[in-house]
């Protein structure tokens, strides 16, 4: 007879700080308000990192587990409140059956191994992605981690498993279509807020900082809706070579950028002496001749 799983329920507790970086380095001190709230991670380069060392692609994926833990620890230390990790995309099913099987089992086992540690840090674990095709055992571990950490508030880690940005938007549009067909929603009243309510995680804030490792410079169908105004940082190093200090440097880049969200402000600069010397006698500036 198969034993029934005991339900997991979140219990209030005082979060403990994550482990420090082995170097002893601490996060930079930044002015209040410039630290990104939500960081998205495309953890790329695992296979290439492994192949360059004579290892299999799956060994590269395995090497990335500790990196994610370290980066989440660094996010907590610098004050990031939301981290979204691209763990398995809707396109990753195209990979070899051996690699797909490994990734399914690996995601399941990482959640099982790390959920208690995340819970101790006060991390809330969430899942974004489609159920179809996903292993039942993976879904079980994702839901167990969600239940165990449901009340935590230090940081939210969204594991994006069997996730695709276009698929998420299609699913939202389909759900909205059903509501319209049933007469519960007036299509004239559909707004961006309406669409957002039907996404996988309606309460997920927009992405502020989008980090991709591995040297590639593209979004790869990750959080397309949420990352509409994200600042992008691309790292040449593969994911297994990354640690929290790379996150901190990316956050410092983010803090120096001017985010205008489509707006613009005039910032005239004083004319240089050369500008006056290069005018016609009638005062026409050189650049307007």
- The active-site residue out of 46, 51, 70, 92 is 92
- Asked if 121 and 132 count as a contact pair (C-beta separation under 8 A), the reply is no
- Catalytic residue of the set 44, 200, 208, 246: 44
Annotated catalytic, 51?
Answer: no
Torsions phi, psi for 12 (to 5 deg): -60, 140
Alpha carbons 157 and 194: distance in angstroms, whole number: 24
> Is 246 one of the catalytic residues?
no
Burial of 219 (0-12, 13-18, 19+ CB in 10 A): middle
Burial 62-91 (b: 16+ CB within 10 A, else e): bbbbebbbbbbbbbbbbebbbbbbbbbbbe
**Nearest in space to 56 (alpha carbons), one of 42, 46, 65:** 46
d(CA 62, CA 240): 9
Cα(197)–Cα(172) distance, integer angstroms: 8
Alpha helices in the chain (DSSP H): 46-52, 57-78, 97-121, 136-148, 165-181, 192-197, 244-256, 273-277
Active-site positions read 44, 92
């Amino acid at each position: 007879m198969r034993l029934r799983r005991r339900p997991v329920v979140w219990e209030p507790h005082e979060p403990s700080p994550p482990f420090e970086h082995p170097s002893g380095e601490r996060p930079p001190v930044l002015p209040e308000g410039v630290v990104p709230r939500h960081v998205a991670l495309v953890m790329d380069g695992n296979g290439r990192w492994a192949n360059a060392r004579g290892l299999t692609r799956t060994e590269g994926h395995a090497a990335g587990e500790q990196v994610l833990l370290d980066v989440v620890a660094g996010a907590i230390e610098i004050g990031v409140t939301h981290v979204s990790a691209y763990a398995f995309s809707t396109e990753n099913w195209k990979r070899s059956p051996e690699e797909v099987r490994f990734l399914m089992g690996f995601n399941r086992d990482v959640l099982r191994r790390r959920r208690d540690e995340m819970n101790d840090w006060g991390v809330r674990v969430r899942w974004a992605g489609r159920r179809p095709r996903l292993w039942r055992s993976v879904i079980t571990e994702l839901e167990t981690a969600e239940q165990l950490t449901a009340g935590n508030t230090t940081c939210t880690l969204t594991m994006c498993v069997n996730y695709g940005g276009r698929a998420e938007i299609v699913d939202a549009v389909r759900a909205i279509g059903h509501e319209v067909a049933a007469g519960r929603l007036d299509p004239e009243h559909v707004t961006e807020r309406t669409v957002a309510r039907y996404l996988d995680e309606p309460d997920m804030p927009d992405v502020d900082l989008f980090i991709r490792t591995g040297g590639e410079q593209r979004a790869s169908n990750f959080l397309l809706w949420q990352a509409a105004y994200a600042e992008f940082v691309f790292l040449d190093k593969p994911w297994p070579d990354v640690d929290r200090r790379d996150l901190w440097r990316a956050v410092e880049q983010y803090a120096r950028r001017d985010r205008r969200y489509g707006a613009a402000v005039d910032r005239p600069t004083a004319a240089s002496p050369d500008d006056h010397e290069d005018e016609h006698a009638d005062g026409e500036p050189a650049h307007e001749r």
